Copies of this chain bind each other. A is one copy, B any other.
Amino acid sequence: MTGLSSESYKGARDWYPEDMRVRSYIFNMWRKVVKSYGYEQYDAPLLEPLEVYAAKSGQELVNDQTYQFTDRGDRRVAIRPEMTPSVSRMIAAHRQEIAYPARWFSIAQFMRYERPQRGREREFWQLNCDIFGVEGAMAEAEIISLGDKLLKSFGAKSDMYIIRINNRRIINFMMAHYLGLDAIQSQLMIKLFDRKNKIAPEAFRDQAIDIFGAENAKAGLQKIAHLLAAKSMGDLPEAIRDSDAVKEVQQLFTLLEKVGVTNAVFDITLMRGLDYYTGTVFEFFDMHPENRRSLFGGGRYDGLVGLFGAEPVSAVGFAPGLTTTELFLQSHNLLPKFVSTTDVYMIVLGNALTGALDVAEELRKEAINVEIDFTGRKIDKQLKTAIKKKIPYLLFIGEDEVRSEVYSLKRTETGEEKKISLERVVSTVKDRRHHVEIENDEEFDISDLKA
Protein backbone atom coordinates (compact mmCIF):
# COMPACT_ATOMS: atom_id res chain seq x y z
CA MET A 1 0.00 0.00 0.00
CA THR A 2 1.14 3.57 -0.56
CA GLY A 3 2.13 5.61 2.48
CA LEU A 4 -0.25 7.96 4.27
CA SER A 5 0.80 11.60 4.49
CA SER A 6 2.67 12.49 7.67
CA GLU A 7 1.61 16.15 7.54
CA SER A 8 -0.69 17.63 10.15
CA TYR A 9 -4.11 19.03 9.22
CA LYS A 10 -3.72 22.44 7.55
CA GLY A 11 -3.64 25.27 10.08
CA ALA A 12 -3.19 22.91 13.05
CA ARG A 13 0.13 22.31 14.80
CA ASP A 14 1.79 19.10 15.88
CA TRP A 15 3.06 19.79 19.39
CA TYR A 16 6.40 17.99 19.70
CA PRO A 17 7.85 17.85 23.23
CA GLU A 18 10.10 20.87 22.55
CA ASP A 19 7.10 22.96 21.38
CA MET A 20 5.05 21.66 24.25
CA ARG A 21 7.58 23.01 26.77
CA VAL A 22 6.73 26.55 25.65
CA ARG A 23 3.00 25.83 25.71
CA SER A 24 3.17 24.30 29.20
CA TYR A 25 5.18 27.27 30.45
CA ILE A 26 2.53 29.71 29.22
CA PHE A 27 -0.41 27.60 30.42
CA ASN A 28 1.17 27.12 33.87
CA MET A 29 1.78 30.82 34.27
CA TRP A 30 -1.78 31.61 33.19
CA ARG A 31 -3.17 29.07 35.66
CA LYS A 32 -1.02 30.36 38.48
CA VAL A 33 -1.99 34.02 37.96
CA VAL A 34 -5.73 33.55 37.52
CA LYS A 35 -5.89 31.15 40.48
CA SER A 36 -4.19 33.80 42.61
CA TYR A 37 -7.29 35.95 41.97
CA GLY A 38 -9.62 33.13 43.01
CA TYR A 39 -10.63 31.94 39.53
CA GLU A 40 -11.57 28.27 39.32
CA GLN A 41 -11.14 26.05 36.30
CA TYR A 42 -14.06 24.70 34.24
CA ASP A 43 -14.33 23.18 30.79
CA ALA A 44 -17.06 22.81 28.18
CA PRO A 45 -17.65 20.33 25.35
CA LEU A 46 -15.89 20.61 21.99
CA LEU A 47 -19.21 20.60 20.16
CA GLU A 48 -22.15 22.95 20.60
CA PRO A 49 -25.38 23.32 18.60
CA LEU A 50 -24.65 25.73 15.76
CA GLU A 51 -27.50 28.02 16.86
CA VAL A 52 -25.55 28.91 20.00
CA TYR A 53 -23.18 30.93 17.82
CA ALA A 54 -25.79 32.06 15.32
CA ALA A 55 -27.47 34.03 18.12
CA LYS A 56 -24.79 36.50 19.10
CA SER A 57 -21.32 35.80 17.75
CA GLY A 58 -21.68 37.66 14.45
CA GLN A 59 -22.44 36.50 10.92
CA GLU A 60 -18.83 36.25 9.68
CA LEU A 61 -17.88 33.82 12.44
CA VAL A 62 -20.89 31.58 11.88
CA ASN A 63 -21.17 31.61 8.10
CA ASP A 64 -17.54 31.68 7.03
CA GLN A 65 -15.42 30.43 9.89
CA THR A 66 -17.15 27.68 11.88
CA TYR A 67 -16.38 24.02 11.45
CA GLN A 68 -19.98 22.86 11.24
CA PHE A 69 -21.53 19.53 10.34
CA THR A 70 -24.52 17.29 10.95
CA ASP A 71 -23.85 14.48 13.42
CA ARG A 72 -25.07 10.86 13.10
CA GLY A 73 -28.14 11.84 15.15
CA ASP A 74 -29.03 14.64 12.71
CA ARG A 75 -27.96 17.48 15.01
CA ARG A 76 -26.42 20.55 13.40
CA VAL A 77 -23.27 21.19 15.43
CA ALA A 78 -20.08 23.25 15.38
CA ILE A 79 -16.64 22.71 16.83
CA ARG A 80 -16.48 25.63 19.28
CA PRO A 81 -14.91 28.74 17.65
CA GLU A 82 -14.87 30.55 21.03
CA MET A 83 -15.77 29.83 24.66
CA THR A 84 -18.12 32.68 25.66
CA PRO A 85 -21.39 31.13 24.42
CA SER A 86 -20.53 27.75 26.05
CA VAL A 87 -19.68 29.22 29.43
CA SER A 88 -22.81 31.41 29.29
CA ARG A 89 -24.87 28.29 28.58
CA MET A 90 -23.28 26.52 31.56
CA ILE A 91 -24.01 29.46 33.87
CA ALA A 92 -27.61 29.54 32.63
CA ALA A 93 -28.05 25.79 33.21
CA HIS A 94 -27.00 26.01 36.90
CA ARG A 95 -27.97 29.62 37.47
CA GLN A 96 -29.68 28.91 40.80
CA GLU A 97 -26.98 26.74 42.35
CA ILE A 98 -23.95 28.85 41.46
CA ALA A 99 -22.41 31.10 44.14
CA TYR A 100 -21.85 34.65 42.85
CA PRO A 101 -19.56 36.33 42.11
CA ALA A 102 -18.50 33.31 40.06
CA ARG A 103 -14.92 33.59 38.85
CA TRP A 104 -14.21 30.95 36.23
CA PHE A 105 -11.40 30.16 33.82
CA SER A 106 -10.67 27.53 31.19
CA ILE A 107 -7.73 26.68 28.96
CA ALA A 108 -9.00 24.99 25.83
CA GLN A 109 -8.64 24.71 22.08
CA PHE A 110 -10.94 26.12 19.39
CA MET A 111 -11.26 25.95 15.62
CA ARG A 112 -12.00 28.59 12.99
CA TYR A 113 -11.69 28.15 9.28
CA GLU A 114 -9.49 31.14 8.43
CA ARG A 115 -6.47 31.59 6.20
CA PRO A 116 -3.54 30.45 8.39
CA GLN A 117 -0.90 33.17 8.85
CA ARG A 118 1.61 34.40 11.45
CA GLY A 119 -0.26 34.63 14.74
CA ARG A 120 -3.37 32.89 13.40
CA GLU A 121 -4.01 29.17 13.14
CA ARG A 122 -7.17 27.20 12.42
CA GLU A 123 -6.79 25.26 15.64
CA PHE A 124 -5.85 27.62 18.46
CA TRP A 125 -5.69 27.71 22.26
CA GLN A 126 -7.10 30.33 24.62
CA LEU A 127 -7.35 31.13 28.28
CA ASN A 128 -10.91 32.27 28.96
CA CYS A 129 -11.45 34.16 32.16
CA ASP A 130 -14.84 35.51 33.26
CA ILE A 131 -16.53 37.00 36.28
CA PHE A 132 -20.30 36.51 36.58
CA GLY A 133 -22.80 38.31 38.78
CA VAL A 134 -21.05 41.65 39.35
CA GLU A 135 -22.66 44.76 37.88
CA GLY A 136 -20.28 47.52 38.93
CA ALA A 137 -17.14 48.67 37.12
CA MET A 138 -14.98 46.88 39.71
CA ALA A 139 -15.56 43.70 37.66
CA GLU A 140 -14.02 45.35 34.59
CA ALA A 141 -11.20 46.76 36.71
CA GLU A 142 -10.34 43.30 38.05
CA ILE A 143 -10.48 41.63 34.65
CA ILE A 144 -8.28 44.28 33.04
CA SER A 145 -5.80 44.24 35.91
CA LEU A 146 -5.71 40.46 35.63
CA GLY A 147 -4.76 40.80 31.94
CA ASP A 148 -2.08 43.26 33.01
CA LYS A 149 -0.81 40.84 35.68
CA LEU A 150 -0.68 37.99 33.16
CA LEU A 151 1.72 39.89 30.92
CA LYS A 152 3.78 41.19 33.86
CA SER A 153 4.10 37.64 35.25
CA PHE A 154 6.05 36.74 32.11
CA GLY A 155 8.39 39.66 32.76
CA ALA A 156 6.68 42.27 30.53
CA LYS A 157 6.97 45.99 31.37
CA SER A 158 4.15 48.51 31.09
CA ASP A 159 5.72 50.25 28.07
CA MET A 160 5.66 47.05 26.00
CA TYR A 161 1.88 47.21 25.49
CA ILE A 162 -1.09 49.52 25.90
CA ILE A 163 -4.64 48.80 26.95
CA ARG A 164 -7.30 50.40 24.77
CA ILE A 165 -10.71 50.91 26.34
CA ASN A 166 -14.10 51.85 24.92
CA ASN A 167 -17.73 51.17 25.77
CA ARG A 168 -20.47 49.76 23.55
CA ARG A 169 -22.98 52.18 24.99
CA ILE A 170 -20.77 55.09 23.92
CA ILE A 171 -20.44 53.44 20.52
CA ASN A 172 -24.20 53.05 20.18
CA PHE A 173 -24.81 56.61 21.34
CA MET A 174 -22.19 57.89 18.93
CA MET A 175 -23.63 55.96 15.98
CA ALA A 176 -27.26 56.89 16.60
CA HIS A 177 -27.15 60.36 18.14
CA TYR A 178 -23.89 61.88 16.97
CA LEU A 179 -23.45 60.36 13.52
CA GLY A 180 -27.20 60.00 12.98
CA LEU A 181 -27.05 56.46 11.59
CA ASP A 182 -29.88 53.92 11.60
CA ALA A 183 -29.42 50.37 12.94
CA ILE A 184 -28.12 48.86 9.69
CA GLN A 185 -25.80 51.77 8.97
CA SER A 186 -24.48 51.55 12.54
CA GLN A 187 -23.63 47.86 12.14
CA LEU A 188 -21.73 48.62 8.95
CA MET A 189 -19.92 51.55 10.53
CA ILE A 190 -18.90 49.43 13.55
CA LYS A 191 -17.42 46.78 11.24
CA LEU A 192 -15.63 49.54 9.31
CA PHE A 193 -14.09 51.01 12.49
CA ASP A 194 -13.10 47.47 13.45
CA ARG A 195 -11.08 47.16 10.23
CA LYS A 196 -9.68 50.70 10.43
CA ASN A 197 -6.09 49.73 11.24
CA LYS A 198 -6.04 47.01 8.61
CA ILE A 199 -7.09 49.11 5.57
CA ALA A 200 -5.75 52.23 3.83
CA PRO A 201 -7.15 55.65 4.91
CA GLU A 202 -8.65 56.14 1.41
CA ALA A 203 -10.50 52.81 1.63
CA PHE A 204 -11.82 53.79 5.05
CA ARG A 205 -13.01 57.14 3.66
CA ASP A 206 -14.68 55.60 0.59
CA GLN A 207 -16.51 52.97 2.62
CA ALA A 208 -17.62 55.57 5.17
CA ILE A 209 -19.10 57.68 2.34
CA ASP A 210 -21.00 54.62 1.11
CA ILE A 211 -22.47 54.09 4.57
CA PHE A 212 -23.51 57.74 5.10
CA GLY A 213 -24.97 58.07 1.60
CA ALA A 214 -24.02 60.94 -0.75
CA GLU A 215 -26.04 63.73 0.89
CA ASN A 216 -24.85 63.08 4.46
CA ALA A 217 -21.29 62.10 3.62
CA LYS A 218 -19.62 65.48 4.00
CA ALA A 219 -21.00 66.28 7.45
CA GLY A 220 -20.49 62.67 8.52
CA LEU A 221 -16.84 62.61 7.54
CA GLN A 222 -16.21 65.84 9.43
CA LYS A 223 -17.73 64.33 12.55
CA ILE A 224 -15.60 61.22 12.18
CA ALA A 225 -12.49 63.38 11.77
CA HIS A 226 -13.45 65.16 14.98
CA LEU A 227 -13.83 61.80 16.76
CA LEU A 228 -10.51 60.46 15.50
CA ALA A 229 -8.72 63.62 16.64
CA ALA A 230 -9.90 63.11 20.22
CA LYS A 231 -6.89 62.05 22.29
CA SER A 232 -8.82 61.68 25.54
CA MET A 233 -12.40 61.62 26.74
CA GLY A 234 -12.20 65.39 27.34
CA ASP A 235 -11.69 65.99 23.60
CA LEU A 236 -14.89 64.19 22.65
CA PRO A 237 -17.77 66.15 21.13
CA GLU A 238 -19.92 67.56 23.93
CA ALA A 239 -22.98 65.46 23.06
CA ILE A 240 -21.01 62.26 23.67
CA ARG A 241 -18.95 63.57 26.57
CA ASP A 242 -22.03 64.19 28.68
CA SER A 243 -23.58 60.72 28.22
CA ASP A 244 -23.96 58.29 31.15
CA ALA A 245 -21.74 55.77 29.45
CA VAL A 246 -18.80 58.19 29.49
CA LYS A 247 -19.21 58.57 33.27
CA GLU A 248 -19.00 54.78 33.53
CA VAL A 249 -15.74 54.79 31.62
CA GLN A 250 -14.37 57.57 33.82
CA GLN A 251 -15.18 55.53 36.90
CA LEU A 252 -13.38 52.55 35.40
CA PHE A 253 -10.24 54.62 34.83
CA THR A 254 -10.33 55.71 38.48
CA LEU A 255 -10.52 52.07 39.61
CA LEU A 256 -7.76 51.01 37.22
CA GLU A 257 -5.48 53.54 38.86
CA LYS A 258 -6.35 52.01 42.23
CA VAL A 259 -5.35 48.52 41.09
CA GLY A 260 -2.10 49.81 39.60
CA VAL A 261 -2.86 49.69 35.87
CA THR A 262 -0.98 52.63 34.37
CA ASN A 263 -1.07 52.09 30.64
CA ALA A 264 -4.78 52.20 29.78
CA VAL A 265 -6.08 54.70 27.22
CA PHE A 266 -9.55 55.57 25.99
CA ASP A 267 -9.97 54.78 22.28
CA ILE A 268 -13.24 55.76 20.65
CA THR A 269 -12.34 53.69 17.55
CA LEU A 270 -12.10 50.39 19.43
CA MET A 271 -15.16 48.24 18.59
CA ARG A 272 -14.33 44.52 19.19
CA GLY A 273 -16.10 42.38 16.61
CA LEU A 274 -18.42 40.18 18.67
CA ASP A 275 -22.10 41.11 18.80
CA TYR A 276 -22.69 40.15 22.42
CA TYR A 277 -20.80 42.96 24.14
CA THR A 278 -23.05 45.41 26.00
CA GLY A 279 -20.71 47.75 27.92
CA THR A 280 -16.96 48.10 28.37
CA VAL A 281 -14.78 46.65 25.61
CA PHE A 282 -10.99 46.58 25.81
CA GLU A 283 -7.95 45.32 23.98
CA PHE A 284 -4.32 44.74 24.96
CA PHE A 285 -2.09 45.87 22.11
CA ASP A 286 1.59 44.99 21.55
CA MET A 287 3.75 48.12 21.07
CA HIS A 288 6.79 46.23 19.75
CA PRO A 289 7.64 47.89 16.39
CA GLU A 290 7.89 44.50 14.69
CA ASN A 291 4.86 42.93 16.33
CA ARG A 292 2.20 45.64 16.47
CA ARG A 293 -0.93 43.60 16.91
CA SER A 294 -3.90 43.06 19.16
CA LEU A 295 -2.82 40.64 21.90
CA PHE A 296 -6.21 39.89 23.36
CA GLY A 297 -9.42 41.59 24.34
CA GLY A 298 -12.66 41.29 26.15
CA GLY A 299 -15.53 43.18 27.67
CA ARG A 300 -18.90 43.13 29.36
CA TYR A 301 -21.65 40.94 27.87
CA ASP A 302 -24.64 41.16 30.21
CA GLY A 303 -27.17 39.73 27.75
CA LEU A 304 -25.72 36.38 26.75
CA VAL A 305 -26.60 34.14 29.72
CA GLY A 306 -30.23 35.30 29.41
CA LEU A 307 -30.46 33.88 25.88
CA PHE A 308 -30.41 30.36 27.34
CA GLY A 309 -33.86 30.66 28.85
CA ALA A 310 -32.60 32.03 32.17
CA GLU A 311 -32.72 35.43 33.82
CA PRO A 312 -29.79 37.58 32.71
CA VAL A 313 -26.53 37.35 34.69
CA SER A 314 -23.99 40.13 34.31
CA ALA A 315 -20.65 39.04 32.91
CA VAL A 316 -17.22 40.44 32.11
CA GLY A 317 -14.45 38.41 30.53
CA PHE A 318 -11.42 38.20 28.30
CA ALA A 319 -9.49 35.58 26.36
CA PRO A 320 -5.74 35.68 25.69
CA GLY A 321 -4.55 33.34 22.95
CA LEU A 322 -1.53 31.04 23.14
CA THR A 323 -0.08 32.03 19.77
CA THR A 324 -0.30 35.80 20.27
CA THR A 325 1.17 35.42 23.76
CA GLU A 326 4.05 33.37 22.37
CA LEU A 327 4.71 35.99 19.66
CA PHE A 328 4.63 38.75 22.28
CA LEU A 329 7.12 36.90 24.48
CA GLN A 330 9.36 36.14 21.49
CA SER A 331 9.31 39.74 20.23
CA HIS A 332 10.24 41.14 23.63
CA ASN A 333 12.76 38.38 24.29
CA LEU A 334 10.90 37.17 27.38
CA LEU A 335 10.93 33.40 26.79
CA PRO A 336 13.28 31.45 29.08
CA LYS A 337 15.45 28.62 27.77
CA PHE A 338 13.71 25.30 28.23
CA VAL A 339 15.13 21.90 29.11
CA SER A 340 13.42 18.53 29.44
CA THR A 341 11.00 17.83 32.30
CA THR A 342 13.19 14.76 32.89
CA ASP A 343 15.94 15.41 35.46
CA VAL A 344 18.21 12.40 35.01
CA TYR A 345 19.07 10.17 32.05
CA MET A 346 20.36 6.85 33.34
CA ILE A 347 23.03 5.17 31.24
CA VAL A 348 23.18 1.47 31.98
CA LEU A 349 26.58 -0.23 31.62
CA GLY A 350 27.05 -3.96 31.15
CA ASN A 351 24.62 -6.22 33.03
CA ALA A 352 23.44 -3.67 35.57
CA LEU A 353 19.80 -3.44 34.45
CA THR A 354 18.29 -4.86 37.64
CA GLY A 355 20.41 -2.57 39.80
CA ALA A 356 19.57 0.39 37.57
CA LEU A 357 15.83 -0.29 37.89
CA ASP A 358 16.19 -0.24 41.69
CA VAL A 359 18.18 3.00 41.72
CA ALA A 360 15.61 4.62 39.40
CA GLU A 361 12.83 3.63 41.81
CA GLU A 362 14.77 5.18 44.72
CA LEU A 363 15.16 8.44 42.81
CA ARG A 364 11.50 8.50 41.78
CA LYS A 365 10.51 8.14 45.42
CA GLU A 366 12.43 11.39 45.96
CA ALA A 367 10.33 13.04 43.25
CA ILE A 368 13.14 12.99 40.69
CA ASN A 369 12.19 12.25 37.09
CA VAL A 370 14.39 9.48 35.69
CA GLU A 371 14.56 7.99 32.23
CA ILE A 372 16.43 4.68 31.86
CA ASP A 373 18.19 3.74 28.65
CA PHE A 374 17.82 -0.03 28.51
CA THR A 375 18.69 -0.36 24.83
CA GLY A 376 22.15 -1.77 25.58
CA ARG A 377 23.67 0.58 22.98
CA LYS A 378 27.22 1.95 23.16
CA ILE A 379 27.71 4.70 25.75
CA ASP A 380 28.27 7.48 23.21
CA LYS A 381 24.92 6.70 21.57
CA GLN A 382 23.18 6.80 24.93
CA LEU A 383 24.95 10.09 25.71
CA LYS A 384 23.85 11.63 22.43
CA THR A 385 20.23 10.76 23.17
CA ALA A 386 20.35 12.56 26.53
CA ILE A 387 21.91 15.68 25.00
CA LYS A 388 19.36 15.77 22.18
CA LYS A 389 16.59 15.56 24.75
CA LYS A 390 18.13 18.39 26.82
CA ILE A 391 18.08 16.35 30.01
CA PRO A 392 20.19 18.21 32.62
CA TYR A 393 21.90 15.20 34.31
CA LEU A 394 23.43 11.88 33.28
CA LEU A 395 23.78 9.06 35.78
CA PHE A 396 26.04 6.10 34.95
CA ILE A 397 25.13 2.74 36.46
CA GLY A 398 27.32 -0.31 36.01
CA GLU A 399 27.93 -3.36 38.18
CA ASP A 400 30.68 -1.50 40.11
CA GLU A 401 28.33 1.37 40.93
CA VAL A 402 25.60 -0.98 42.10
CA ARG A 403 28.10 -2.79 44.35
CA SER A 404 29.87 0.32 45.76
CA GLU A 405 26.72 2.50 45.91
CA VAL A 406 28.79 5.37 44.53
CA TYR A 407 27.48 6.79 41.27
CA SER A 408 28.83 9.02 38.52
CA LEU A 409 26.60 12.08 38.05
CA LYS A 410 27.39 14.37 35.11
CA ARG A 411 25.96 17.82 34.24
CA THR A 412 25.00 17.42 30.59
CA GLU A 413 25.58 21.10 29.80
CA THR A 414 29.00 21.58 31.39
CA GLY A 415 30.41 18.03 31.37
CA GLU A 416 31.23 18.41 35.08
CA GLU A 417 31.26 14.97 36.73
CA LYS A 418 31.14 13.84 40.37
CA LYS A 419 31.29 10.40 42.04
CA ILE A 420 28.73 10.59 44.84
CA SER A 421 26.26 8.68 46.96
CA LEU A 422 22.60 8.38 45.96
CA GLU A 423 21.70 10.84 48.69
CA ARG A 424 24.00 13.44 47.17
CA VAL A 425 22.60 12.69 43.70
CA VAL A 426 19.17 13.58 45.07
CA SER A 427 20.32 16.80 46.75
CA THR A 428 22.37 17.94 43.75
CA VAL A 429 19.48 17.46 41.31
CA LYS A 430 16.98 19.11 43.66
CA ASP A 431 19.34 21.99 44.30
CA ARG A 432 19.49 22.84 40.59
CA ARG A 433 15.71 22.71 40.41
CA HIS A 434 15.52 25.10 43.31
CA HIS A 435 17.78 27.59 41.51
CA VAL A 436 15.70 27.34 38.38
CA GLU A 437 12.66 28.03 40.46
CA ILE A 438 14.14 31.18 41.99
CA GLU A 439 15.29 32.42 38.61
CA ASN A 440 11.78 32.06 37.30
CA ASP A 441 10.27 33.75 40.33
CA GLU A 442 7.99 30.76 40.49
CA GLU A 443 6.46 29.80 43.80
CA PHE A 444 5.47 26.48 45.20
CA ASP A 445 2.01 25.64 43.89
CA ILE A 446 0.03 22.63 44.92
CA SER A 447 -3.19 24.42 44.19
CA ASP A 448 -4.39 21.81 41.71
CA LEU A 449 -4.39 19.17 44.38
CA LYS A 450 -6.04 19.57 47.73
CA ALA A 451 -7.94 17.44 50.17
Interface residues of A (CB under 8 A from B): 1, 3-10, 12-17, 20, 23-25, 28-29, 35-38, 40-49, 51-52, 55, 67, 69-73, 75, 77, 79, 89-90, 92-94, 99-101, 103-104, 109, 111, 113, 123, 133-134, 136, 138, 142, 258-260, 307-310, 336-343, 345, 353-354, 357, 361, 364, 366-375, 384-385, 388-389, 391, 433, 436-437, 439-440, 442-451
Contacts and interface: CB of A to CB of B under 8 A. Distances in A.
A25 B439 CA distance: 27
B448 A341 contact: yes
Contact of A308 (B5, B67, B367): B5
B36 A134 contact: no
A289 to B, nearest CB: 27
Given A9-B49, A45-B123, 20 more contacts: A3-B308, A6-B93, A9-B48, A14-B42, A16-B94, A17-B104, A36-B367, A36-B368, A67-B69, A69-B69, A99-B389, A103-B371, A133-B375, A138-B374, A336-B451, A338-B451, A339-B450, A339-B451, A433-B446, A440-B451
15 contacts: A3-B307, A3-B308, A6-B89, A9-B47, A16-B42, A20-B41, A20-B42, A23-B43, A25-B449, A73-B113, A101-B375, A341-B450, A366-B443, A436-B449, A440-B450
Contacts of A340: 40, 450
A73 B450 contact: no
A90 B14 contact: yes
Across the A-B interface, the 5 shortest Cβ-Cβ residue pairs: A38-B371, A3-B309, A12-B45, A367-B443, A69-B69
Contacts of A13: 45
Contacts of A260: 361
Contacts of A3: 307-310
B40 A342 contact: yes
B310 A6 contact: yes
Contact of A370 (B36, B342, B357): B36
Contact of A338 (B372, B445, B450): B450
